[in-house]
Amino acid sequence: MLRFTIEKLSNHPGLFLFCRAILEGNFKAIRQIIRDRLPVEPGRRILDVACGPGAFSVLFPPESYCGVDINQRYISYASRHYRGSFSVMDARKLEFDDASFDDALIFGLLHHLNDEDAKTVLQGLSRILKPDGRALVIEDIPTESKLNLIGHLIHKVENGHFIRSADGYRHLLPAELHLQREHVFRSGICDYYMASLILDGSAPVQRPDSPRTNEIGGQ
């Protein structure tokens, strides 16, 4: 019953945002981390991968922001309510030129994807980022406190089937995305892992369709 209700809510972009904002204290902690790790600088282009209904677009200048999501409803909602560029796209096949973004944000996507798909997304990110480009990954981890009963309940019924530990997410990262900083934090009732990454401009970038090689330390 609860699972059914959550699935229904997820299909309604406005309600989805409203409920998440309540559960997460209006995303105060998340917004702060995005501002700290991806500070706005004139001229930098940002790609928000799996942007959902577009709530975080407001943290960036509209002319620099591009959001993509596989869900047509979310993209329609985002285009109507926020400024910026929004497109329906599968994050596993990012349809952008190489080195076309300075920054990338992934918030809440990888826990919906198996390891193979999650690695494909991260390799795609390495391809579309410019050398020394920045990436910020924020993902759900298992609820830490035994007393956080609502957090445990939400994770039990939430439709992300691949909620990992911090280690689990770290192991997905391609070698060319260098870890600058990582930590675990709480936003409302949800516990998250965040990894702040920078693309090593000198490392060869793994193409999704090429075999992994030892030179770039495939995992």
Footprint on this chain of ligand SAM (rule: CB under 6 A): 50-52, 55, 69-71, 74, 90-92, 107-109, 112
Distance CA 147, CA 113 (A): 28
Distance CA 39, CA 182 (A): 17
3-state class percentages of the chain: helix first, strand second, coil last, to nearest 5: 40, 25, 35
Indicate the helix (H) or strand (E) that contains 28: helix 28-37
Minimum distance from residue 69 beta carbon to ligand SAM (Å): 5
Minimum distance from residue 161 beta carbon to ligand SAM (Å): 11
Minimum distance from residue 131 beta carbon to ligand SAM (Å): 25
Closer of 71 and 206 to ligand SAM (Cβ): 71
Contacts 24+ apart (CB under 8 A), 213-217: 216/174, 216/175, 216/176, 217/175
Closer of 68 and 199 to ligand SAM (Cβ): 68
Sign of CA dihedral 147, 182, 155, 164: negative
The C-alpha R_g of the chain, in whole angstroms, comes to 17
Measured at CB, which residue is nearest to ligand SAM?
52
Closer of 124 and 133 to ligand SAM (Cβ): 124
Closer of 87 and 100 to ligand SAM (Cβ): 87
Minimum distance from residue 201 beta carbon to ligand SAM (Å): 26
Q: Return the closest-CA partner of residue 195 out of 104, 121, 113.
A: 104
Closer of 16 and 177 to ligand SAM (Cβ): 16
Question: At 139, which amino acid appears?
Answer: E
Minimum distance from residue 18 beta carbon to ligand SAM (Å): 12
Minimum distance from residue 24 beta carbon to ligand SAM (Å): 9
Closer of 109 and 205 to ligand SAM (Cβ): 109
